Structure 1
Amino acid sequence: MEKTITFGIPCYNAAAYMDKCITSILEGSGYAEDVEIVIVDDGSTKDDTPQKADDWAKRYPNIIRAVHQENGGHGKAVMAAVGAAQGAYFKNIDSDDWFDAEALQRLLTTLRRFDELGDNVDLVITNYVYEHVEDGTQNVVDYRHVLPVGRVFTWGEIGHFKKTQYLLMHALTYRTKTLRAANLQMPAHTFYVDNIYAYVPFPRCHNLYYLDVDLYRYFIGREDQSVNDAVLTSRVDHYWRVARVMWEAYHLYDDVQPRKLREYMMSYFTIIMAICSVFSKKSDRPDAEEQLQKLWDDLKAYDPKMYRRARHGVVGIATNLPGLVGKDITLWGYRVAQKHVKFN
């Protein structure tokens, strides 16, 4: 049977929670055989993730496949799933997250209809929900006042995104051939590459569709999680690497023609540079400020206009205030935003 969609699940020492993720897809889809699940064991060594992946594939050979590779990091595992995918569409889900069953059924119905009608949709957008384990609360991110609902549209029809409303990996279902054509360069052993995944392919996506369902449930609050504040601070150099890959993908003002898409991408990239700035200031690395300055200098040399927009706009100024007082103000602003938005 031809596959409507492939769900890629990167797994690294994920035995404690991968079953919930896999089960949510199987049960939510009604064990449909036009659904494919590709479990990528990214060189797990500390638990029985490899065996679990093989066991799931043996139980559901028409739905699940297991891929094993040497440890390369999250981005390499995502791209291994993309490379193996047989589905017309591809959606990544991290092994500690899960899908809402009703929303998944609606997504599948929508994708099947695209196939029946011959609609060439490059990107389907759905909502996602932050599931905060520490206090049992939820925070839904939707796009109801930004995107046309329930019809095919183009980038020229999008509205203005709030700073809390960007199109993160959790919201994205790509047409597989469109995603492959983007030729994503995911650095090995690097966290936060989901920002590359939710940025570089966009100019190749010409027809979009927004399905207003709360599909992706994003587990947040585990102490070892990559978005945990202390963990992110210790890995600020990963964000430096990600920022470089993003800016080297395009000279935005030369290469990206839809004006609204260009402005969206510039705004999103500005947030990435702001994260680099904030966490460089939080870091204990003795060279953090020096490396941050080099990052800005290299961006300026590569694309002066992108540099001006990112560094001398409101966000860039607010996250790069000079001196110790400026640093304190920047970090205070970050804590306020963190408390309000609850993004990690």
Structure 2
Amino acid sequence: MKILSVGIPCYNSAEYMRHCIESLLPAGDEIEILIVDDGSQKDNTLEIAQEYERNYPGICRAIHQENGGHGEAVNTGLKNATGVFYKVVDSDDWVDHDSLMKVMDTLRRFVQQNQTLDMLICNFVYEKQGAARKKVMNYRSAFPIEQLFTWEDVKHFHLGQYILMHSVIYRVQMLREAELELPKHTFYVDNIFVYQPLPHVKSMYYLDVNFYRYFIGRDDQSVNEQVMIGRIDQQYLVTRLMMSYYDVTKVQPEKLRNYMTRYLEIMMTVCSILAIRSGTPENLQKKKELWQELREKNLRLWLRLRWGFLGQGMNIPGKSGRKVSSAAYKIAQKFYGFN
């Protein structure tokens, strides 16, 4: 029986995918490593995936698909998953060995005791290239540690503290019942992955280990600031999709509603700051239209986001106001260690 299925979206990943796969192999026969080649053409990604399938039969599977983007590779992993739980690990990232053992022990215990666990949360580490200090995202202030809990038991999220794709392991059947399907050929869909299923998540468990190692710092990464500005339309598309899934002002329970609202707040902030940092009239107009669209579709949510702390900071009028917003972003960037 497979306890954990891990989807690894790969696109021209030959340079670093071995490190990712090797970090997962110590989990042995209880793990299923789904190496999804998303139509790679520039290197031998598929051949490497097939090599691991030959060398580790019953553990590694090589899956080839026509290029559909990161989200479609995540979808393919989920469709092929035979484990009880599902995790996504990007091909340039990896997991910590000792933490992996603890994760597997925890998931195994829930399976053996026939207890339903919808979402396991762990810490992740920003493995930023060239950074001496590694920023760790933990959730000690937000969740009870090593106990089953619900949204009613959630405590306090700090500013900048969010559940990200790196943090979560989901129950496969819950994801399928939530009908999670990420859009094709779209960047930044990891936000949808950790937002759309949330109302279906009833039981959670926080394991306080630094499990996921999130590599960041390559110039061509999708989270590089200049790359994000170049793909600003993708960021706006994902934000619009997220706001379309639910009327978040009516979500229950209250703590879940508050969390999902804050997540939309950070998405609107990212969209706004990218437009401001780009400095182009075209992108500033897109920012204005996004906020206006939100006002027309959901006035209650617009009031909450527009007049919240971040919303006010992203909408200071004039050129000098945009300078203030940009400066605040740079401070947050240095403090939190992203990009």
Under TM normalisation by the shorter chain, which class is it? over 0.9
Aligned residue in 2 for 1:325:
320
What TM-score, normalized by structure 2, do the two folds share? Answer: 0.98
Q: Secondary structure at the match of 1:173?
A: strand
- For 2:336, the aligned partner's letter is V
CA deviations over 1:287-333 (Å, ceiling 9, x no partner)? 21222222112222222111111112110010121111111111111
Count of residue pairs brought into register by the alignment: 339
Superposed displacement of residue 286, structure 1: 4.4
Question: How is 1:112-261 mapped onto 2 (pairs within 5 angstroms)?
Answer: 112-254=108-250, 256-261=251-256
Separation of aligned partners in 2, 1:145 and 1:314: 21
Question: How is 1:34-45 mapped onto 2 (pairs within 5 angstroms)?
Answer: 34-45=30-41
Separation of aligned partners in 2, 1:110 and 1:12: 31
Separation of aligned partners in 1, 2:180 and 2:296: 23
What TM-score, normalized by structure 1, do the two folds share? Answer: 0.96
Q: Secondary structure at the match of 1:62?
A: coil
Aligned residue in 2 for 1:26:
25
Aligned residue in 1 for 2:86:
90
1:101 equivalenced with 2:97 (yes/no): yes
* Maintained 8 Å contact 1:185/1:245: no
Structure 2 residues not aligned, in runs of 5+: none
CA deviations over 1:97-120 (Å, ceiling 9, x no partner)? 000000000000011100111110
Separation of aligned partners in 1, 2:55 and 2:279: 48
Which residue of 298, 317, 330 maps to 2:293? 298
Q: Secondary structure at the match of 2:228?
A: helix
Aligned residue in 1 for 2:4:
5
Separation of aligned partners in 2, 1:185 and 1:88: 18
What value does the CA root-mean-square deviation take over the aligned residues?
1.1
* Maintained 8 Å contact 1:131/1:220: yes
Separation of aligned partners in 2, 1:135 and 1:314: 30
1:79 equivalenced with 2:75 (yes/no): yes
Superposed displacement of residue 284, structure 1: 5.6
Superposed displacement of residue 45, structure 1: 0.7
CA deviations over 1:198-220 (Å, ceiling 9, x no partner)? 11101100011111111000011
Structure 1 residues not aligned, in runs of 5+: none
Q: Secondary structure at the match of 2:226?
A: helix
Separation of aligned partners in 2, 1:182 and 1:298: 27
Aligned residue in 2 for 1:343:
338
- For 1:11, the aligned partner's letter is C
Aligned residue in 2 for 1:269:
264
Separation of aligned partners in 2, 1:98 and 1:204: 28
Superposed displacement of residue 135, structure 1: 2.5
- For 1:173, the aligned partner's letter is I
CA deviations over 1:34-90 (Å, ceiling 9, x no partner)? 210001111111111111111111111110111111111111111110111011000
- For 2:40, the aligned partner's letter is S
Separation of aligned partners in 1, 2:62 and 2:126: 28
Separation of aligned partners in 2, 1:133 and 1:251: 39
Separation of aligned partners in 2, 1:137 and 1:72: 36
